Amino acid sequence: MSVGVAVQEWLRQGGFDSVAVRDIDASMPDIDILAWAVREQRLVVTQDKDFGELVFLSGQPHAGVLLLRVEDARSDEKVQIVEALFASYGDQLPGRFSVYQDGRLRIR
């Protein structure tokens, strides 16, 4: 939800099987988002740093999280970043916790 509608639309137009949490339940708690994503085998693309706490501190299972640390980025910049990350690392993102910040991607 936090990455915005432009990224959501880019994913859909790019043929990705994507679902926006805002279309299901905009008030869904983060822990429920992770559980839903695991059931659906979906990568969570977010700007919400709470997902790092859930995965690493609480040990919650996940099907992959891409955390974008781009708080000041415009919508078009976010789309460009996601497009580049998916093109270069798309096959490495599922099942992994990844953080993009300052032009670098860290995959765990």
| Residue 29: exposure state from Cβ atoms within 10 A (0-12, 13-18, ≥19) | exposed
What six digits make up the tokens of 7?
Answer: 């990224």
Whether 66 contacts 43, CB under 8 Å: yes
Express each pLDDT in 12-46 by its tens digit.
Answer: 999 999 999 988 998 999 999 999 999 999 999 99
Share of the chain above pLDDT 90, in %: 90
> What pLDDT, on the 0 to 100 scale, is given for residue 69?
96
- Parallel, antiparallel or unpaired: strands 97-101 and 104-107: antiparallel
pLDDT of residue 90: 95
